[in-house]
Structures are given as C-alpha cells and as structure tokens.
Chain A
Amino acid sequence: MKYIDEFRDGDVAQTLAAAIRAEADPARSYHFMEFCGGHTHAISRYGVSDLLPANVKMIHGPGCPVCVLPIGRVDQAIRLALEQGVTLCTYGDCLRVPASDGLSLMKAKAKGGDIRMVYSSADAVTLAQKNPDKQVVFFAIGFETTTPPTAVAIKHAAALGLKNFSVLCCHVLTPSAISSILESPEVRQWGTVPLDGFIGPAHVSTIIGSRPYEFFAEEYRKPVVIAGFEPLDVMQAIKMLIRQVNEGRAEVENEFARAVSRDGNLKAQQLVAEVFEMRKHFEWRGLNILPYSALRIRSQFAEFDAEKRFPLGYASVPDHKACECGAILRGVKRPQDCKIFGTVCTPENPVGSCMVSSEGACAAHYTYGRYKDV
C-alpha cells in the first residue's frame, strides 16, 4: 500500500533503532508517555518496544476514547435503549464496555434493546430519516477527532428538521487529560511516575493543531513530540524526545508534519464551537471529575440533546474493586500489575474498560504482548 508500507518498513526500523541506541545516554533512563491509544496499539502490534534499548521505557496514556468513558455514561445509554425504547447508535468499540448490573450495550441488545453499531455519525442521521416513528439517539464519544463529525450530524439533522434525532454527548478534551496527569501527585509531588516527555496525539492534533501543547512544554517543562500512528512515526518521535531530553529542551515538535499544522483544522474548530460548549465538569474513568474537560450541546441545538429530551439523571458508579484501569490510565500501573489481568478480566469478559477497545492498554498487552510475562 503506497504511503502506508513506507511507514512500516522493517529495514528503516532497524536503522532508526540503531540511531535511537546511539542517541540514548546509557547512564540514564527515559520514560515517555504515548498519550493515544492509537500509539499504544501501534507499539504493541508492530513490536516497537523490542527495537528500543532497555533504558527507554514507554508508559501507556489515557488517550483511548472507550477507556475513559465512565460506567455512569454507559448506564445512561443502556437506559435510553431499554427504558425509553430508543434506537441507540454507537461506534463498535462502545458495545462491550462493562456497565452496571453486569450489563453492556451488547448485553442490553440481547435483552431486546434496539442498539445498532454505526461507522459514522451520518449513518445515525440516515437511520432517523428512514424511521420517522422511532427516536434515534447517537451515543457520541471520543476526543477531538470524532467531535466535528458529531457537530456535522447535529447541523445536518437541524437542516433536515428531524424531530426524532438526538445525541448523548460524551465528547472529551485531550488537553484536560494531559493536565490531569501532569498535575497528579504521582508525577508532580511523589515522582512515583517518572515522566520525561509525551508522544503527542496524531489524529486529535490534525484538528486542534500543535499549539495547545505549548503550554505543557513551557509550564511543566515536558517535551512533546506529535507523532503519526504508524510504527516508524512512533520511533522517530522517540528519537526526537530523547534528543530534547539530552539537550535539556522542552519544546513542542511535530513529527507528523504531513498532517498536523500549528493551528490545526480551523474549519472543524469553528464547527465544533458553533454546536458545542464546555461542560463545567465531567467524570472520566480513572481520572475522576475534571473541570472543563468535556463538551455539551449548546442551547440553540437543545432539541438534539438527548440529556434534555429524555429524563436522564447522571449517577456516578465506582469501578470494580479489583480493577486497576484508573491507575493504568494515569500511567501509575501497567496492565500486568493488575491482579485480574488475563484471569478474571479478558477481552471476552472485560471487567475494566482498558480491556475492551483494541486501543486500550490492557487489550493491547493481552492481545499482542502477554508472552513477555511468562
């Protein structure tokens, strides 16, 4: 595949691995967090860590949309389907996220809920158009990458004058999650999570640009290198991070210049601002309640807001006691440090959200890397 195989070339990888070995100072260690689940997946799937020297360690970050979704939000979606009788549309990964009472959207579907997997928010609008007698709700999750398509869907539904389409908006913001990690006592006070820099998001950055990360580099003195989701992108970013650390720099650098600019996609940003506004606070799985960390639908589009259309109170539900997803999402623990990893909690019967999506740290380690644990 042209323009893809080039970024997965094994020979180039070996050359880059040698360059990283040469760059890394054997007298110290390096700890970098890859923020995105897309990077976590690439690292595990291509075996990138096998090509890194032992003193360069990767820490999985919270950037997996399904993983940070708290139980209370999935409960809301399930209640919409089972109690309000709506047709609930969502992206495939959401279906298996564990919720209260041993349910998930997939199990709610088996109980008779009309729950559909869609590939795009536009499919949900089409479904509403085709079924005027059914209330169709799009369960919208994800970081800044998936937010503009939801905005488009709402504007499209408004233009069509649809009375049976609404959105349960659970869109969250990347910079809030990064600040939460940098402000956490493990990083800031105790130093139990050594963190020398970030691999910055790929797709999110195509929308928001590289500018939002400049604050982190300046304020917290942590280098950020924005990288694409191909394995060579990740390795190149690691090399750039090592160099910044060695030279005592903390800057935002852009390895993914083929898709990301400093300002990002202004049209998409404008569209998002037109349809959404900040929530004062939002609960994340693992990171608790973060101020100004998520979006809600503006009042002028209120008729498309499922939280306003249906009686949906929000109740926070704690994670399973033994589940370490919270600590794993903050980089405090690794999947294999969790007592129930691979025993009680598996991709077939996930207890925590990190075992659900292929971008989740636990699912990635279980699927691609668990041979290293034995």
Chain B
Amino acid sequence: MSEVRKGYVRPIDIKHGQVDMAHGSGGRAMAQLIEELFAKYLGNEYLAQGDDGALLPAQGEGRLVMATDSHVVSPLFFPGGDIGCLSVHGTINDVAMMGAKPLWLSAGFILEEGFKLADLARIVQSMAAAAKEAGVPVVTGDTKVVERGKGDGVFITTTGVGVVAPGRELSGRYAKPGDVILVSGTLGDHGMAIMAERESLGFESPIVSDTAALHGLIETMRASGADIHVLRDPTRGGLATTLNEIAKQSGVGMMLQEKDLPVTPAVNAACEFLGLDPLYVANEGKLVAICAEPDAKKLLAAMQGHPLGAAAAIVGRVHEDAHHFVQMTTGFGGKRIVDWLSGEQLPRIC
C-alpha cells in the first residue's frame, strides 16, 4: 500500500531569518524566497508567468521610453520612505519626465549575506504599495546575494518602460528664451531627511522625504493644455544642477529669483546649520517645468490644484546667453551664478 505524503515545505522564517548565500544560488532556497516574499507582495499576471522574462502586450501608437536607476541610499529606512518605495518612484519619475505614461517596472536586488529578512520584507512591501498606488506593476525581477561585507544590506536597480503618445515632445533641449521656469514644490526635503537621519541630528521638527511618483501630476499639467517644453526631476545635485543641465542642452541662460524659491523653514534651518545650500540638495518628489510664457499662470494653477504640486511656484525665466549661465537675483538684491554642483555634497542620497 503506497502512501503519498502530503507535500510540506517549511516556510521561510521572515521574522527572524537572514539572507544567506543559498538565497542567490538559483536553487530551491531562491525559488522559495521569490515565492514567499517577492511574488507574495509584488505579484501580478506578468510576474506570475514565471519565465525568464515578462511577455508584455505590444503598444499601438506612440514611442516607448525606457529608463533605469540604481538605488544605494543609506540609511535604507528614513523619515517619509525607504529604499523600496524610492526605487519605484525614482524610475517612474524618470520615465514620466519624458512625457511618457509609465507601464511596467523591473527590479534587480543585490542582497548582502546576513541581511535581515524582516527588513527585506518591509522593503518589498513598501515597493509593492508604491507600485500599486502608481498603477505600475513590477513585471520581472532578479535576485543576487553577495558575501557579508561586499554590499550594504540591499541595493535595488529598477528599470521602467513607458509609452509616449504621438505628438508629445519633451526634452532638456527645448527651453527657449522667454520661457518660464516652475518648480512643483519645496526644495531639498529628501536630501535633508536623509542627512538628518544619517547624522542623528534629531531636529525638533523632523524633515520628511518628499519621495513620490509624479506621473499623475504630469497628467494634470498636460491636461491644462499648457505648452510645456521641458520636464525634469531635480534629484541628485538639486535644482541648481538640473537647471544647469537644461541650460547647457538648450544653449540658453536662466535667471532665478531667490525670493520665489519654495523651501520649508525646517529645511532652510537644517541647511544653514550644516552649511548646505537647498538649491543643491536632492529631491525625489519634485519636478521642474519650463513652459511658454503665456501659459505659465495656467500651468501654475493646474500644478497647485494637484496634491503633489500644492506649493508649486514660478521661480525664474529663460534668456539668451552664449555662456549658458544660470544666474540668480539674490534676496539681498545682488546677482550671482548658480553653478553646477561641484564634488559630492551628500553621497548615497538615493
């Protein structure tokens, strides 16, 4: 009399367990980690295909946009977010800044031996929540494990694919003299949140990262009918570096008004304290828009009507300048250059 034993595999101990080398071996331990952790939270019809790659529906009209971003932020958890949601928002925003509707993401994990599975679960859950809220599923992934001391907990690389509707054209090359420069909200929140957490500064009013997916805000902006020439997210290097990139690409100069730059009092004070300039501090949920002058007010109103653009402001103008200088009228009444970031202000910010 034969008896078929009921299959039973002891579940991974997510509460107390740690990543070990077998989790990256390609064998059963890895399959189990994928099933009980990644698939459990990130699951969707494409990921469920379980093949080497995701088979995705072809898109009709328009062009595809693809963007990739690696995340090495330290610490992994910070006020307002963690490396998980950051890795989703960062790549969605890169796709969205091209004027595309983000469709799918891939995620590659490099895990360090000994990393707590409980922390990994928190990160994956945060990714899943961010992907769900954004409506952009993670459709394929990869996991590798490196020996203890060869990584720093977890690094995540995400790649995003989106589609641009025909006729929509955005590029850092399209800023024109006379155009108006807008930002979608306060500057420097992400960078200072990381910095305060890393240095255990314990400011009385905690600074919270602004990490957010911006494609919804962009859709609202597009719906306003404003003639937008450039969109860009001022991440590493902050607004100053982003505007310098655009000025160089478009072959123009810019003039900012310091008094119009939105910065929260907490970020301002923290920057003052640490000798940093909010213009160079990273953002993860803000965008810069450059649009035709007659549409600026309309665009501003549209941005301010969206929760992620409530503190949007017009901060400057584009002009002709063969030297492509970004300049600023200071609140003090003088003039100065707002230069490229020099060196590394805050390493491992995203």
- Tell me whether A108 is interfacial, beta carbon within 8 Å: no
In the assembled complex, the Cα of A9 lies from the Cα of B265 at a distance in Å of 16
Closest residue of chain B to A348, judged by CB? B342
Binding site secondary structure of chain A: helix
Beyond A1-B268, A1-B269, A4-B272, is A48–B334 a contact (Cβ under 8 Å)? yes
Q: Which parts of B172-190 form the interface with A (CB within 8 Å)?
A: none
Closest residue of chain A to B271, judged by CB? A1
In the assembled complex, the Cα of A8 lies from the Cα of B109 at a distance in Å of 47
Q: Which parts of B305-335 form the interface with A (CB within 8 Å)?
A: 323, 325, 327, 330-335
Q: How far is the CB of A368 from chain B (nearest CB, A)?
A: 4
- Tell me whether B22 is interfacial, beta carbon within 8 Å: no
A13 contact set on B, CB distance < 8 A: 332-333
In the assembled complex, the Cα of A116 lies from the Cα of B259 at a distance in Å of 37
Closest residue of chain A to B323, judged by CB? A374
Besides A1-B268, A10-B259, A10-B332, 7 more A-B contacts (Cβ < 8 Å) are A9-B332, A10-B331, A13-B333, A14-B333, A367-B339, A368-B336, A369-B336
B333 contact set on A, CB distance < 8 A: 10, 13-14, 17, 47, 50-51
Q: How far is the CB of B201 from chain A (nearest CB, A)?
A: 11
Query: In the complex, which of the residues B331, B335, B343 contacts A96, with contact meaning CB atoms closer than 8 Å?
Result: B343
A to B CB contacts below 8 Å, 24 in the list: A1-B265, A1-B269, A4-B272, A8-B331, A8-B332, A10-B330, A10-B331, A10-B332, A10-B333, A46-B332, A47-B336, A48-B332, A49-B334, A50-B334, A51-B334, A96-B343, A347-B343, A348-B342, A348-B343, A367-B337, A368-B336, A369-B337, A371-B323, A371-B325
A366 contact set on B, CB distance < 8 A: 339
B323 contact set on A, CB distance < 8 A: 371, 374
- Tell me whether A370 is interfacial, beta carbon within 8 Å: yes
0/1 interface trace, chain A 2-28, chain B, CB 8 Å (1 if under):
001000111001100100000000000
In the assembled complex, the Cα of A66 lies from the Cα of B323 at a distance in Å of 30
Closest residue of chain A to B328, judged by CB? A47
Q: How far is the CB of B269 from chain A (nearest CB, A)?
A: 5
A119 contact set on B, CB distance < 8 A: 199
How big is the B interface, by class? 20 to 34
- Tell me whether A44 is interfacial, beta carbon within 8 Å: yes
In the assembled complex, the Cα of A366 lies from the Cα of B342 at a distance in Å of 11
Q: How far is the CB of A105 from chain B (nearest CB, A)?
A: 13
0/1 interface trace, chain B 244-271, chain A, CB 8 Å (1 if under):
0000000000000001000001001100
In the assembled complex, the Cα of A13 lies from the Cα of B323 at a distance in Å of 29
B325 contact set on A, CB distance < 8 A: 371
Chain A residues engaging chain B, CB cutoff 8 angstroms: 1, 4, 8-10, 13-14, 17, 44-51, 96, 119, 231, 347-348, 366-371, 374
A10 contact set on B, CB distance < 8 A: 259, 330-333
In the assembled complex, the Cα of A17 lies from the Cα of B199 at a distance in Å of 40
In the assembled complex, the Cα of A347 lies from the Cα of B341 at a distance in Å of 10
Closest 7 CB pairs of A and B: A47-B334, A347-B342, A50-B334, A46-B332, A368-B336, A10-B333, A367-B339
Beyond A1-B269, A369-B337, A371-B337, is A45–B330 a contact (Cβ under 8 Å)? yes
B342 contact set on A, CB distance < 8 A: 347-348, 367
Assess the A46–B337 pair: CB atoms within 8 A: no
Assess the A231–B337 pair: CB atoms within 8 A: no
In the assembled complex, the Cα of A10 lies from the Cα of B328 at a distance in Å of 14
In the assembled complex, the Cα of A119 lies from the Cα of B336 at a distance in Å of 28
B343 contact set on A, CB distance < 8 A: 96, 347-348
A371 contact set on B, CB distance < 8 A: 323, 325, 327, 335, 337
Assess the B330–A47 pair: CB atoms within 8 A: yes
Beyond A46-B332, A231-B332, is A368–B337 a contact (Cβ under 8 Å)? yes
In the assembled complex, the Cα of A366 lies from the Cα of B323 at a distance in Å of 13
Q: How far is the CB of B264 from chain A (nearest CB, A)?
A: 11
Assess the B336–A46 pair: CB atoms within 8 A: yes
In the assembled complex, the Cα of A48 lies from the Cα of B333 at a distance in Å of 8
In the assembled complex, the Cα of A368 lies from the Cα of B334 at a distance in Å of 11
In the assembled complex, the Cα of A109 lies from the Cα of B210 at a distance in Å of 33
Q: How far is the CB of A346 from chain B (nearest CB, A)?
A: 8
Assess the A1–B272 pair: CB atoms within 8 A: yes
Query: In the complex, which of the residues A1, A9, A47 contacts B335, with contact meaning CB atoms closer than 8 Å?
Result: A47
Beyond A4-B272, A347-B342, A371-B323, is A46–B265 a contact (Cβ under 8 Å)? no
In the assembled complex, the Cα of A308 lies from the Cα of B204 at a distance in Å of 44
A369 contact set on B, CB distance < 8 A: 336-337
